[in-house]
Structure 1
Amino acid sequence: MEHILLRDGNTIPAVGFGVFLIPNDGSTYDAVTKALRLGYRHIDTAAAYFNEDEVGRAVCDSGIPRDEIFVTSKLWLQDYGYDAACRGIDASLKKLGLDYMDLYLIHQPYGDVPGAWKAMEDAQKAGKIKSIGVSNMTPNIWNHFVPQFDTMPAVNQVECHPFFQQKQLREVLDACGAALEAYFPLGHGDEALLAHPLVTALAHKDNKTAGQIILRFEVQEGFVVLPKSTNPQHMADNIAIFDFSLTDEDMARMRSLDTGKGSHDPETPGMGDMLLKAYKVHD
């Protein structure tokens, strides 16, 4: 496993295991347990995924030393503002059953983000969180909120894949020394991406799967990637990308696939209110 050095001095595994939309009915526990056995050491959850407790139990039951597993969670919109965020952080720690989280993110960039960020800064100082970051921030949203922060985010977790390479955002992040974490790194299972002639040709040339080619491209671009699958073979394949490299020519060809368009636009009017109504993490 390769690691990326964050601007705060901590390191993060380049490939993580995402648990978005995995039910909290034992399925998340089983998936995380399986992922850890396969060699994953980076698990990404959130309060609004409603499965923090099963992630935490799987981590605790794994027998793997806590400091060898990188655990991320995220603060939901209901808990923005300083006081609410303090309670939200403690709630995530309690559900996870952990003394600290390796990374904690502002999940959605709406409302009292500065107040929530201040609470996260204080929690970091108190040792409850190792690294703090944001998610779903476009360049415009980043430039609106981040100048109000005392601490620069270590990461910005956004949709990113070969069809949507976030080139403008990456310029902003690179200037600040912040890392990009890619959710939907396989295009949310987009067959147009997985079956693209260039991707399949490179997969044939390197004797790899289409998914491995895509993830390898992203890791070589410097992204942290968060593929999600409960298929055991896909889970194993998604982490087996460190025994080969794409050539400079192949990387350039992959960069040419960028359309500049993703499936989610955080700047859509009313997005914050829509998400707040759609997901309630507590009464």
Structure 2
Amino acid sequence: MDLYLIHQPFGDYYGSWQAMEELYREGRIRAIGVCNFYPDRLTDLCANASVIPSVDQVELHPFFQQAGALQAMRELGVQPQAWGPLAEGTHGIFQKEVLSAIGKKYDKTVAQVVLRWNVQRGVSIIPKSVHRNRMEENLAIWDFALGDEDMAAITQMDLGHSEIIDHSSPETAKWLNSWKIHD
């Protein structure tokens, strides 16, 4: 297996991490990582692990940029990976004038601008699509680079919080812990 991830920092994730470390050391998994570990949980895991996560897959898009989380990942040597890099299509992302104007400047789509923005921030991206033409469009982001002004304009779009899921909410913790996949 190339990459195995813990999806949330809930339940016995330390036990899961230790089991994953063992599989990693045995060569059965090439890389291990985490998802949705905010800086405090990621720092705590790294301080108590013998193998540092290769990636932390978190929500990263223009409306939730997580600059602090990215900084923590850099300091810990963990690669940030964006799930929902196109904000799951929310907030009218594909119609935002600032993104459209940047796209016109480079002859690129809004999706390409947003994906390139995350890549330039050092984030690996996993945009979801089942349409071949969109997959091809998502791959065509390597022939241009956004300028500092463009990056700054996108930075202004940050809401500072997720509107998809609040991982720090007690309700989210209860909901996630209600999923019993192991007895």
What TM-score does the superposition give when structure 2 sets the normalisation length?
Answer: 0.92
Aligned runs of 1:206-225 on 2, under 5 Å?
Answer: 206-225=106-125
**Structure 1 partner of 2:167:** 266
For 2:168, what is the secondary structure of its paired residue?
coil
Q: Judge conservation of contact 1:158–1:180 (CA < 8 Å) in 2.
A: yes
Amino acid at match of 2:16: A
Aligned runs of 1:149-160 on 2, under 5 Å?
Answer: 149-160=49-60
Amino acid at match of 1:155: V
Aligned runs of 1:30-49 on 2, under 5 Å?
Answer: none
- Quick one: distance in 1 between partners of 2:51 and 2:27? 15
Q: 2:24 aligns with which of 120, 124, 128?
A: 124
For 1:190, what is the secondary structure of its paired residue?
helix
- The CA RMSD measured in Å over matched residues stands at 1.7
Q: Judge conservation of contact 1:108–1:272 (CA < 8 Å) in 2.
A: no
Q: Judge conservation of contact 2:62–2:154 (CA < 8 Å) in 1.
A: yes
Flag as ranges the 4+ runs of structure 1 deviating above 6 A: none
For 2:2, what is the secondary structure of its paired residue?
strand
Alpha-carbon distance, 1:270 to partner: 4.3
Mean Cα deviation higher: 246-255 or 182-191: 246-255
Is structure 2 residue 135 aligned with structure 1 residue 202?
no
For 1:188, what is the secondary structure of its paired residue?
helix
Aligned residues: 182
Alpha-carbon distance, 1:272 to partner: 3.7
For 1:157, what is the secondary structure of its paired residue?
strand
Q: Judge conservation of contact 1:159–1:264 (CA < 8 Å) in 2.
A: no
Alpha-carbon distance, 1:141 to partner: 2.2
Q: Judge conservation of contact 1:106–1:135 (CA < 8 Å) in 2.
A: yes
CA deviations 1:174-203 (Å, max 9, x no partner) are 111111000000001125222111100011
Q: Judge conservation of contact 2:10–2:177 (CA < 8 Å) in 1.
A: no
- Quick one: distance in 2 between partners of 1:169 and 1:211? 23
**Structure 1 partner of 2:11:** 111
CA deviations 1:31-88 (Å, max 9, x no partner) are xxxxxxxxxxxxxxxxxxxxxxxxxxxxxxxxxxxxxxxxxxxxxxxxxxxxxxxxxx
Aligned runs of 1:8-157 on 2, under 5 Å?
Answer: 101-157=1-57
CA deviations 1:122-157 (Å, max 9, x no partner) are 101111111111110112222343322122111100
- Quick one: distance in 2 between partners of 1:265 and 1:140? 15
Q: Judge conservation of contact 1:108–1:135 (CA < 8 Å) in 2.
A: yes
**Structure 2 partner of 1:275:** 176
Amino acid at match of 2:121: E
Gaps of 5+ in 1: 1-100
Q: Judge conservation of contact 1:113–1:145 (CA < 8 Å) in 2.
A: no
- Quick one: distance in 1 between partners of 2:113 and 2:35? 25
Amino acid at match of 1:113: Y
**Structure 2 partner of 1:189:** 89
**Structure 2 partner of 1:170:** 70
CA deviations 1:8-28 (Å, max 9, x no partner) are xxxxxxxxxxxxxxxxxxxxx
Q: 1:274 to 1:155 in 2, by over 3 A?
A: same
CA deviations 1:83-140 (Å, max 9, x no partner) are xxxxxxxxxxxxxxxxxx1111111111111111111111011111111111101122
Q: Judge conservation of contact 1:163–1:187 (CA < 8 Å) in 2.
A: yes
For 2:144, what is the secondary structure of its paired residue?
coil
Amino acid at match of 2:176: L
Amino acid at match of 1:277: S
Alpha-carbon distance, 1:282 to partner: 6.6
Identity %: 40
Is structure 2 residue 129 aligned with structure 1 residue 234?
no
Gaps of 5+ in 2: none
**Structure 2 partner of 1:46:** none
